[in-house]
Structure 1
Amino acid sequence: MPAKLSVNLNAIAMLRNRRDLPWPSVTGLGRIALAAGAHGLTVHPRPDQRHIHFADLPAIRALIDDEFPGCEFNVEGYPSESFLKLVEDNEPEQVTLVPDDPSQATSDHGWDFRQHADFLKQSVARLKRLGVRVSLFCDPGTDEPQLAVAKEVGADRIELYTGPYGACHNSPEKAASELERLGKTADIAVPLGLEINAGHDLTVANLPPLARRVPTLAEVSIGHGLTADALEYGMAETVRRFLRAAGNELS
């Protein structure tokens, strides 16, 4: 089955926040993306609210519930107490836990599962009590012992960090090497019972090779590249382009 597409709204929110004005509308563009066929919406609320505001989450939750009940809400973040409370208040279908420092500009590495096993186990258990699917951010090249710990702490999925792969946009040789690292990690994870998500700097150009190398890919979460393309093609057509890139057939 082709990978589902979750549209990350953070870049849209960051543009909105340049002015004390309600546009571009996070929910408005989320509505366009879902109407065009996206399977869900992703946000990464950070403590300083520099892009997604905490107040955006109930509005996105209501948009999905009222107009697109078959779609999913994915919330990413570091599992601090305030983040977990935000999740409990907004009931996403999926939570993606990342090991970010609050000062980071963007997510740039996965978890060391062994080092943070106890912390992750507690956080995952709390989320599972809500009936939430849990995905853990994972570096390419992560080995089997580490991935086994990810499964042991209760994760349903890992999200492959595709930043290094996306950074090779001008070097086919390096891109092929990074793609193979991602593929080998997925090859190890799937037999352990972990499903595979992926995200960070994915584009219409580099998504098809990823989907071919990781045919078990369940979902991709895409924000920066998709938002950049939307400036040129419009949100609806951009979503359709990314859906096709992920292998989805459009009617």
Structure 2
Amino acid sequence: MPAKLSVNVNAIAMLRNRRDLPWPSVEALGRIALKAGASGLTVHPRPDQRHVRFSDLPVIRALLDDEFPDAEFNIEGYPTQEFFDLCAGVEPDQVTLVPDDPSQATSDHGWDFRKHQDFLAGVIGPYKKMGCRVSLFADGDGDAEAVAIAKAIGADRIELYTGPYGGCYDAPEQAAVVLDGLGKTADAATALGLGVNAGHDLTVSNLPALLRRIPQLAEASIGHALTAEALEFGMAETVRRFRRACGQSI
């Protein structure tokens, strides 16, 4: 099965937020992406609302419910009470829990599952009772024991943090090393029955190699590179380009 493509609209919202104006519209560009075949939309509502705003969430939920009922809503965030309440208000299909400090510019590491095992075990249950699939952000370092902890505490999937892989865009030998770690992590997850997602700095160029190594990849969540390409090719054509890179037939 080809990997599904979830379009992360944070970069669109960040561009909108540069002015006190309603454009570019997260809703309108999300609609274009979904019409072009994206399988869902991803958001990361940070506490300072510097990317998507809290007010964007019900708008996206309504877009999906009214026009694209088969598409999924994936919400990323650090599991505070405020984040839980935001999720409860819009009932996402998937929640991706990330170990972000509010001061971080973007997600830049996975969970330390050994250190945060008890904390995560205590927060996963309420999301699952809400009806959400729970994915945990994970480093792709080949640590099978860490992946086993994610399974034991109730995760449904892990999302491989692919930032280091994307950062090797001009260093193919290093990219191969990083890809090997990602692949070993994915293999360990699959052996345990965990689904595998991936996200961060994925591009049309580096997705095919990732899919060859991890053919079981369920979903790629892509925002920065996709939004950058949309400035050149338009949102609809860019989604089609990324769908092809994910192995989908267009």
TM-score normalized with structure 2 length: 0.99
Counterpart residue type for residue 108 of structure 1: D
Instruction: Quote the residue 2:74 is aligned against.
Output: 74
Alignment match, 1:161: 161
Aligned to 2:93: 93
* Letter matched to residue 29 of structure 2: L
1:65-115 alpha-carbon deviations (Å, 9 max, x no partner): 000000000000000010011001110000000000001000000001121
For residues 228 and 207 of structure 1, the distance between their equivalents in structure 2, rounded to whole angstroms, comes to 16
Partner of 2:144: 144
Shift of 1:143: 1.3
Write out per-residue CA displacement over residues 122-174 of structure 1, whole angstroms, 9 at most, x where no aligned residue.
21101010110000000011412211110011000000000000000001111
SS of 2:218 mapped into structure 1? strand
User: Deviation digits for residues 150-200 of structure 1, max 9, x if unmatched?
Assistant: 001100000000000000000111111111110011111111111100000
Distance between the aligned counterparts of 2:149 and 2:129, measured in 1? 20
Hey, what does 2:184 align to over in structure 1?
184
Separation in 1, partners of 2:150, 2:10: 27
> How far, CA to CA, are the matches of 2:130 and 2:14 in structure 1?
29
> Is the 2:142–2:183 Cα contact (8 Å) retained in structure 1?
no
Counterpart-to-counterpart distance in 1, 2:161 and 2:23 = 30
Q: What CA deviation, in whole Å up to 9, does each residue of 1:24-52 have, x standing for no partner?
A: 00000000000000000000000000010
Find the aligned partners of 1:211 and 1:184 in 2 and give their Cα distance: 13
What is the distance in 2 between the residues matched to 1:154 and 1:192? 12
Q: Which residue does the alignment assign to 1:225?
A: 225
Residue type of the alignment partner of 1:130: M
Aligned residue in 2 for 1:15: 15
The SS at the match of 1:217 is: coil
Question: Quick one: distance in 1 between partners of 2:108 and 2:91?
Answer: 26
Aligned to 1:209: 209
Task: Look up the match of 2:122.
Answer: 122
Instruction: Point out the more displaced range, 39-48 or 120-129.
Output: 120-129
Q: Could you tell me the percent identity over the aligned residues?
A: 70
**Structure 2 spans left out of the alignment, 5+ residues:** none
Take 2:221 and 2:145, find their aligned partners in 1: how far apart are those partners?
26
Query: Is residue 2:39 matched to residue 1:39?
Result: yes
Equivalent residue letter for 1:80: T
Structure 1 runs of 4+ aligned residues shifted over 6 Å read none
Q: RMSD of the TM alignment (CA)? A: 0.6
Question: Residues 29 and 235 of structure 2 are in contact (CA less than 8 Å); yes or no, is this contact kept in structure 1?
Answer: yes
Match of 2:170 in 1: 170
CA distance in 2, matches of 1:86, 1:10: 16
The answer as to 2:128 corresponding to 1:133 is no
- How far apart, in 1, do the equivalents of 2:175 and 2:144 lie? 23
Taking the aligned partners of 1:206 and 1:242, their CA distance within structure 2 comes to: 11
AA aligned to 2:180 is E
- Which amino acid in the other structure matches residue 246 of structure 1? C
